[in-house]
């Protein structure tokens, strides 16, 4: 009962902190946050007029001199997560400590389990951010063909490129409307169109978007009928999105099978550790550790190799 209360309290504390952070940051406009970072120095994370947090400001100041701090900011922007790099790092540390404490209690106050739980907890926010970034990129790619169709209709009706982008920012759903609203506002602030589109491409690393941006830039330099060019690109993108969707459906089973088969040995080992700890301690006994520990390391190596092999099989480039 004591263990259940401690574990439940720790989990409730994690959920409470995550809820407080999300609630406190959800009111801040991500668009204003990105524009504020752009208008200041490239590695600056403080937005003008934003209510300061002493701990967040201190961490942001320390991150300004490091390239990986700017990389964290870029990854969070791509995933559309309303957190600063300092807040993201604080969340990682808290998740690591919480999961490490729970693993330490479950593992019978074992330091090894605490370290493993700490390492796993540190990567939980990173897994979430990567998943959000992947989902957002998929949604953007699915909407790109409709966006180009809207731009083509606007150009044929006599709109300029900027007016067509404004129509996209008003008519299209998120995330594509948010990104093109950012492009329009950057151009209204005086940024050249080529630079604004390059910034868009840096936030959304999509091959289809790269093709679209290249077509727009080339047309602005050499001239031509942009509506016809984008109409041709729209057909190509629609076919590519369709093929990618079919491949994603066919390879989903392989991807999830690889994840499940990779996690199954760890889950079984954890259950055996809880139910029959003396049996698992045979790997670490004084007389058996010379064989047990290499066997465990070899097993981990084989599991990792199988996981990456199945993922490689499921990744098909179009």
Q: In this predicted model, what pLDDT tens digit does every residue of 136-148 receive, in sequence order?
A: 888 888 888 888 8
Least confident of 41-55, 136-150, 275-289: 41-55
H or E segment at 289? helix 289-314
Greater confidence (258 vs 52) lies with 258
CA gap 96, 91 in Å, rounded: 8
Distance CA 146, CA 301 (A): 45
Number of H helices and E strands in the chain, helices first, is 13, 0
Evaluate if residue 6 carries a pLDDT over 70. no
Spatial separation of the C-alpha atoms in residues 13 and 102, rounded to whole Å: 12
Query: Can you tell me the mean pLDDT for 222-242?
Result: 84
Is 99 in contact with 120 (CB distance < 8 Å)? Answer: yes
Phi-psi region of 50 (alpha: psi -120 to 50; beta: other; left: phi over 0): beta
Helices 193-203/176-188 angle, 10° precision: 150
- The SS3 of residue 173 is coil
Tell whether the model's pLDDT for residue 318 goes beyond 80: no
pLDDT at 190 over 80: yes
For residue 102, what pLDDT is reported? Answer: 84
> What pLDDT is attached to residue 2?
55
Report the C-alpha gap between 95 and 98 in whole angstroms.
Answer: 5
Average pLDDT over residues 262-272: 85
What local confidence, expressed as pLDDT, does residue 15 receive? Answer: 62
Fold of the domain built from segment(s) 138-242: Receptor-associated Protein (1.20.81)
Q: What is the pLDDT of residue 11?
A: 64
d(CA 82, CA 24) in angstroms, rounded, equals 10
What is the distance of C-alpha 278 from the center of its chain?
41
Percent of the chain with pLDDT over 70: 76
Burial of 25 from C-beta contacts in 10 A (0-12 / 13-18 / 19+): middle
- The C-alpha atoms of residue 152 and residue 103 are separated, in whole angstroms, by 56
Return the pLDDT at 55: 55
**How many Å is the maximal CA-CA distance in the chain?**
83
Q: What is the pLDDT of residue 294?
A: 86
- Is residue 177 within 8 A of residue 169, CB to CB? The reply is yes
Of 41 and 239, the structure prediction assigns the larger pLDDT to: 239
* Dist. CA 77–CA 13, nearest whole Å: 27
What's residue 236's pLDDT? 85
Binning pLDDT at 50, 70 and 90, where does residue 240 land?
confident
- Distance of alpha carbon 254 from its chain centroid, rounded? 22
The reply to whether omega before 175 is within 30° of 0 (cis) is yes
Cα–Cα distance, 143 to 7 (Å, whole number): 43
pLDDT band at 10 (very low <50, low <70, confident <90, very high): low
Mean of pLDDT over the chain: 77
Residues 227, 156 contacting (CB under 8 angstroms)? yes
Asked if 155 contacts 167 with a C-beta cutoff of 8 angstroms, the reply is: no
Please, how many CA atoms are within 13 Å of residue 149, restricted to the half-sphere of its CB? 11
Report how far residue 155's alpha carbon sits from residue 91's, in angstroms, rounded to the nearest whole number: 46
Q: Is the pLDDT of residue 235 over 80?
A: yes
The confidence band for 94, taking pLDDT boundaries of 50, 70 and 90, is confident
The C-alpha angle 139, 141, 145, rounded to 5 degrees, equals 115
224 or 198: which leads in pLDDT: 198
Q: What is the mean pLDDT of residues 17-30?
A: 50
Do residues 233 and 148 lie in contact, with contact meaning Cβ atoms separated by under 8 Å?
yes
Say yes or no to pLDDT of 31 above 50: no
Residues 121-132, mean pLDDT to the nearest whole number: 86
Cα(253)–Cα(241) distance, rounded to whole angstroms?
A: 19
pLDDT for residue 26: 45
pLDDT category, 308, cuts 50, 70, 90?
confident
DSSP letter (8 states) at residue 160: -
The more confident residue out of 197 and 106 is 197
């Amino acid at each position: 009962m004591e263990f259940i209360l401690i574990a439940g309290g720790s989990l409730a504390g994690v959920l409470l902190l995550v809820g407080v952070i999300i609630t406190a940051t959800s009111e801040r406009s991500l668009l204003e946050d990105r524009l504020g970072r752009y208008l200041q120095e490239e590695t600056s994370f403080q937005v003008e007029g934003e209510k300061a947090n002493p701990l967040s400001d201190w961490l942001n100041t320390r991150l300004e001199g490091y390239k990986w701090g700017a990389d964290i900011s870029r990854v969070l922007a791509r995933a559309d997560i309303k957190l600063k790099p300092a807040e993201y790092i604080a969340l990682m540390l808290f998740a690591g400590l919480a999961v490490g404490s729970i693993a330490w209690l479950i593992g019978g106050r074992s330091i090894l389990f605490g370290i493993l739980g700490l390492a796993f907890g540190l990567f939980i926010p990173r897994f979430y951010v990567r998943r959000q970034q992947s989902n957002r990129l998929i949604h953007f790619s699915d909407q790109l063909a409709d966006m180009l169709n809207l731009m083509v209709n606007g150009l044929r009706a006599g709109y300029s490129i900027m007016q067509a982008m404004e129509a996209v920012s008003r008519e299209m759903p998120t995330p594509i409307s948010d990104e093109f609203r950012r492009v329009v506002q950057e151009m209204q602030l005086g940024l050249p169109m080529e630079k604004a589109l390059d910034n868009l491409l840096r936030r959304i690393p999509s091959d289809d978007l790269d093709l679209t941006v290249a077509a727009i830039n080339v047309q602005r330099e050499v001239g031509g009928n942009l509506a016809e060019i984008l109409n041709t690109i729209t057909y190509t993108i629609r076919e590519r999105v369709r093929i990618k969707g079919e491949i994603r459906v066919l390879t989903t089973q392989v991807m999830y099978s690889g994840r499940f088969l990779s996690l199954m040995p760890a889950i079984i080992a954890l259950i055996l550790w809880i139910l029959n700890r003396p049996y698992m301690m045979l790997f670490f006994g004084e007389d058996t550790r010379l064989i047990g520990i290499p066997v465990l390391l070899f097993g981990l190596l084989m599991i990792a190799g199988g996981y990456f092999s199945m993922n490689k099989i499921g990744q098909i480039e179009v």
